[in-house]
Amino acid sequence: MQCCIYIYVCTLHCSYPILPLSSPLSYPNPNSEVMLFSGYSAMILVVLCVLTSSLIMEAHAGNFYRDCDVTWGGQRTRFLQGGQMLTLSLDQASGSGFRTKKEYLFGRIDMQLKLVPGNSAGTVTTYYLSSQGPTHDEIDYEFLGNLSGNPYTLHTNVFTQGKGNREQQFHLWFDPTKAFHTYSIVWNPRRIIFLVDNIPIREFKNGESIGVPFPTKQPMRVYSSLWNADDWATMGGLVKTDWSKAPFIASFRSFNANACVYSGGRSSCPGRSSARGGNAWKTQALDANGREKLRWVQRNFMIYNYCTDRKRFPRGLPTECTH
């Protein structure tokens, strides 16, 4: 990084102010007056370089103002904290939603959510990746509301070439309305991993070799919404939305897309780009510890798995369930 070669002439007593995270960073012209460091001074330079690197990474973190568009609901979508946080609301007239400006083809997407508290029956909060068209691909988190005191249902699904029907549902090991928690999607050419607070809850592997389509070609945007689905969301539609509790509000923050941006028919990721460091998602798989955590979640918190639903598939379970 250039900051490790050149810095402005400055002693330990210099009075330059520390840049806030929102301040633009600039580097000196290599032809300007510079000072070479060695020994103790070089150590100071390394520290400055590390701090500068941290500022750069922070300055490029996701911002809802910059990175997203409101798709529906108008003023029911509120941007807070300079775009670092966003809320969606639902009332009897309408819900609300947003999507990213950019499309991605593989990546790791992280979002922190705090769900509708209290009696959220009939409401659905969504966070998902999706392409467009009748043969679209999609990777879903859907949070199905419930009566006060009952657990939320976390509904996951994977669509490939317009076909879904791959639902797995969970209850969570915490109350998702009390604080923010991180929900992540790792999507690379070999697998999709769903993570909650970095704990894997589901893995969907690439099964193209056995005839199961996998999302490898269609770029997807990130979408989120809050809407009314009381015809099915809570106890199969038996419990309806209590509009006296409206507006219902869900909160989002810490959006981060460490992903390959797809634009103009091309990906921003070189074909042989490194999978080290922050790009570990490109080859990420579950190690022994990850597999054990996945088993713990599925053993204790899974409440529905399409791969065990023989009544739904009387002619045989889907191919990926038996391989």
Of 33, 58, 103, 142, catalytic: 142
Residue from 33, 58, 138, 208 carrying the catalytic annotation: 138
Q: Which residues pair with 168 in a beta bridge?
A: 156, 305
Q: Is 5 left (phi over 0), alpha (psi -120 to 50) or beta?
A: alpha
Q: Are 164 and 155 in contact (CB under 8 A)?
A: no
What is the phi/psi pair of residue 219, to 5°?
-65, 150
Query: DSSP states of 160-220 as a string?
Result: BTTB----EEE--SS-TTTS-EEEEEEEETTEEEEEETTEEEEEEE--GGGT-----SS-B
What are 191's two structure tokens? 């697998």
138 catalytic residue (yes or no): yes
- Pair of tokens at residue 149: 């005191």
- Do 197 and 91 meet the contact criterion of CB atoms below 8 Å apart? no
| Residue 208 is among the residues annotated as catalytic for this protein | no
Cα–Cα dist 295/293, whole Å: 5
Which sequence positions are flagged as catalytic? 138, 142
